[in-house]
Amino acid sequence: MSLMMQAKTPRSELHARQATRKARLPERMLLPLLVLLIISITTTFAREGMNTVYLSGQVVNTENGAPIKNQMVYIQSEVASSGGFSFYHIRYTDDNGFFYDTLTTTALKGSMLIHAYDVNGLKYELTEYFRFLWENEYYANVVLEVFDPGLVSDFQANFDHEIDTASGDQLSYNFTDESTGAGIVHWFWDFGDGNHSYERNPTHLYEQPGIYDVSLTISTENLSCDLLSSVVIKKVKVGMKGYYHLGGHAFAGYFPVDEGTAYLYKIEEDEFIPIDTVEFDTLGYYFFYQLIEGNYKVKTFPSSGSANAGEYLPTYFGNELLWTKAELINLTQTGWEYDISMIPNHNYASGTGIIDGQVSFDNKNPEVENIEVILFDGNDYCLAYMKSSKNGIFQFSELPFGTYKVLAEVPGMYTYPTIITLSQENPTIEGLNIVVYDEDIHYGIGDGPETLISGMGELYPNPARDHVNLAFNLKQEGNVQVFIIDQAGQVTANHSRHYPGGENLIRMNTSHLAAGIYRVMVLIGNEKHIKSFIKIN
């Protein structure tokens, strides 16, 4: 490794990680094992109040991983990303190269810059992020590499470690010897839990989560006075909650979007939970840090001041306009390549047709502002996009005659299009009512919902294998739409047909579905009904 190192910023560090495609979060947490055992490892959201960062780190030599003692370490907040949380501390490393700090804040997220200088005055810096969404305490353990010519040695113990993915056990770790030196014939590992190994590259299974002081001692043969030995100690976080980052570029055509916003949502069972909002950098890049393992969806949006505003539409990862069609991000490791190509806004020829209506919320509050309303043509190309006014009003005007689809896009709520045909005889559609429910969006023209179903039975068989049946009684004939929806909000099957009044039966094929819990949504006009069933194989 070169003796020269440029100062790193959070952004340059992110792009460096993206370029190498080997991004890994540093090991975190440092406290005695008995204290760590009481830490909650649940995914429950943290309560508001005072939050604490327990920071520990190790400064090592860039050349061989040797710990550097008595090294001055500077720790300061990035105020712009930390909600005004400001601090500046100086700490010194101990004999094993470790340093410690404790920070308290009411900020829910942020980052800190940790840096040190070598003997030549060169600055070495890293960024550590924190987020108090799932816990009120964050335990950070970082490694800062600094060049120290006094520690350049041909004989130095060093090792790396990682989860033993082959075993499938989060408490099993592989340890890899990375020591330097000739004639090494002895390796002695102390795993910090009372167990030892003499293998060069051992695998060890811990009994319980925690932070362990793991040491490796290497030595040569004990021949006369030629015996050489070296010891290194590292902090290893075992079985604790992992945190990951994700990011990507937002493109408008071939070029990154100049200005815009990215929204992050977490999918937990039937919940669609907003997590964070960030602005793009100057290269059209967005990133979210300190996320737990799980399923996420990302939406990007050109800002009003962007050169792409009006030309490109709010687009989800997977290059989709609707959240139900957006690609699910199953986050199990850090990834920087969740790129999004924003969907262009198609133009249409001018005409005299008009579609207007109102968005309302659950029939209780007629005023729903800034709801996204999208107009598609008969081929599902997006023709126009707008946000509802303060009174929930929207209008698409100067439309040529033809068939259109209108729907509202509300993250976490189900959206289904209203199909409208404008003609010489029917050039204007007024009073299009889009109702936003807690779970689903219903639509209709004219008056509010009416009860069209006088009776609906339970789904059977339940659990289901190849099919599921639904019996219902209609007060009058009408079009019935049925959707099977998985836990991620994806429509996996649908059925639409005009049914006569009276008793009816729908048989839906489920043979293609994976095992799991599904919901069946029945739409008749403005009316909705939800049923659930379990699919087994």
Please give the structure tokens belonging to residue 250. 């937002």
Full-model pTM: 0.68
pLDDT band per the 50, 70, 90 thresholds, residue 449: very low
pLDDT in tens, 223-234: 656 788 999 999
Q: Is the pLDDT of residue 58 over 50?
A: yes
pLDDT of residue 21: 32
- Say if CB 171 and CB 84 are below 8 A apart: no
**What is each CA distance from 421 to 15, 284, 354, 427, 513, in whole angstroms?**
49, 39, 11, 9, 35
- 463 cis-preceded (ω within 30 degrees of 0): yes
Determine the average pLDDT of the residues in 243-268.
93
pLDDT in tens, 363-406: 455 457 888 999 988 888 888 888 898 888 999 999 999 988 88
> How many CB atoms lie under 10 A from the CB of residue 485?
22
pLDDT of residue 320: 93
pLDDT of residue 88: 92
Give the single-character DSSP code of 475. S
Q: In 499-515, which positions are buried (b, 16+ CB within 10 angstroms) versus exposed (e)? A: beeeebebebebeebee
Percent of all residues in the chain with a pLDDT value above 70, rounded to a whole number: 82
pLDDT band per the 50, 70, 90 thresholds, residue 1: very low
- Say if CB 359 and CB 371 are below 8 A apart: yes
- 123-128 long-range contacts, Cβ below 8 Å, gap at least 24? 123/5, 123/7, 124/5, 124/7, 124/8, 125/7, 125/8, 125/9, 126/8, 126/13, 126/26, 127/8, 127/9, 127/10, 127/13, 127/78, 128/26, 128/55
Determine the average pLDDT of the residues in 520-524.
83
Mean pLDDT across the chain? 82
pLDDT in tens, 152-174: 888 999 999 999 989 889 899 99
Please give the structure tokens belonging to residue 410. 């509300």
| Strand bridging mode 210-219 / 186-190 | antiparallel
- 427 cis-preceded (ω within 30 degrees of 0): no
Q: Is the pLDDT of residue 480 over 80?
A: yes
Q: Which residue do the tokens 């839990």 mark?
A: 193
- Say if CB 415 and CB 381 are below 8 A apart: no
| Strand bridging mode 137-146 / 51-61 | parallel
Q: Give every CB contact of residue 80 below 8 A, 6+ residues apart in sequence.
A: none
pLDDT of residue 30: 29
pLDDT of residue 36: 30
Q: Give every CB contact of residue 425 below 8 A, 6+ residues apart in sequence.
A: none
> DSSP string covering 133-172, please?
SS-SEEEEEEEEEE--GGG--S-B--EEEEE-TTTT-TTE
For residues 130 and 113, give the distance between their C-alpha atoms in angstroms, rounded to a whole number. Answer: 12
Percent of all residues in the chain with a pLDDT value above 90, rounded to a whole number: 43
Give the single-character DSSP code of 10. H
Q: Is the pLDDT of residue 45 over 80?
A: no
For residues 277 and 81, give the distance between their C-alpha atoms in angstroms, rounded to a whole number. Answer: 12
pLDDT in tens, 395-446: 999 999 998 888 888 888 776 677 788 999 889 988 777 766 665 544 444 3
- Say if CB 475 and CB 524 are below 8 A apart: no
pLDDT band per the 50, 70, 90 thresholds, residue 71: very high
Amino acid in the structure at residue 98: F
For residues 136 and 46, give the distance between their C-alpha atoms in angstroms, rounded to a whole number. Answer: 6
- Say if CB 457 and CB 471 are below 8 A apart: yes
